[in-house]
């Protein structure tokens, strides 16, 4: 009759093997559910979470590991956003500015904060002030102050807890400290917001 033939295989496994297989499948499902809490979960987050297996990425930036703990685009946060960022030795952020306030706490390692304090009063950022940072250091970046964070340590990672206001973040990126403010490139949505930004846009259609 032109129908297709389907073959079904029955494999008898010992009970202990079935238990192991069931456990592995349960872990796989649990990991997918857990990952969904961190990725584009705009309807909210569990009250208490363990960050041990939370997904992280460098988003195309060598030496970076970024985790959005609670975000606007990814989790529906309204007033603040919280990240953990880890920078390998010799790596760092680009020179950039944004209109939001930003607070850092150094969780481990050491590095350098470069900060231009002229804001938008001059044509381009002035020579930055250098501030050493280390574990238990905290610092605040005012709105629209060009800045850069570098892991200047040769051996250890620099890990930061970051809190920003007015999410989602819109970042203006500079090639160097002499680049005019008007030439700085706007990046929005920012790299770690792109996937959920597109996901949410499709969901609203």
Residue 121: both structure tokens together: 């009063």
147 is in an annotated binding site: yes
Task: Identify which of 40, 50, 63 has the alpha carbon closest to the alpha carbon of residue 200.
Answer: 40
What DSSP letter does each residue of the chain carry, written as one string?
--PPP---------HHHHHHHHHHHHHHHHHHHHHHHHSS-TT---SS---TT---B-TT-TTEEEEEEE-HHHH--SSEEEEEEEE-TT-BPPEEE-SS-EEEEEEE-EEEEEE---TTSSSS--PPEEEEEETT-EEEEPTT--EEEE---SSS-EEEEEEEESSSP-EEEESSTTS-GGGPEEE-S-GGGHHHHHHHHHHH-
66 is in an annotated binding site: no
102 is in an annotated binding site: yes
79 is in an annotated binding site: no
Beta carbons within 10 angstroms of residue 49's beta carbon: 13
Q: Please state the φ and ψ torsions of residue 105, each to the nearest 5 degrees.
A: -130, 125
Residue 124: both structure tokens together: 């381009």
Binding-site residues, please?
A: 96, 98, 102, 147
Binding-site residues for Zn(2+), please?
A: 96, 98, 102, 147
């Amino acid at each position: 009759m032109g129908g297709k033939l389907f073959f079904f295989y029955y494999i008898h496994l010992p009970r202990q093997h079935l238990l192991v297989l069931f456990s592995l499948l349960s872990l796989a499902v649990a990991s997918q559910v857990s990952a969904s809490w961190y990725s584009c979960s705009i309807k909210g987050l569990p009250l208490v979470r363990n960050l041990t297996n939370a997904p992280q990425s460098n988003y195309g930036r060598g030496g970076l590991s970024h985790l959005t703990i609670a975000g606007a685009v990814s989790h529906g946060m309204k007033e603040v956003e919280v990240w953990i960022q880890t920078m390998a030795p010799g790596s760092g952020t680009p020179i950039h500015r944004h209109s939001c306030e930003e607070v850092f706490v150094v969780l481990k390692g050491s590095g350098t904060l470069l900060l231009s304090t002229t804001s938008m009063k001059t044509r381009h950022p002035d020579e930055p002030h250098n501030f050493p940072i280390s574990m238990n250091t905290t610092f605040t970046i005012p709105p629209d102050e060009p800045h850069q964070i570098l892991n200047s340590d040769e051996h250890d990672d620099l890990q930061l807890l970051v809190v920003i206001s007015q999410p989602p973040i819109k970042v203006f990126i500079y090639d160097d400290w002499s680049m005019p403010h008007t030439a700085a490139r706007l990046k929005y949505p920012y790299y770690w917001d792109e996937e959920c930004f597109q996901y949410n846009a499709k969901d609203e259609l």
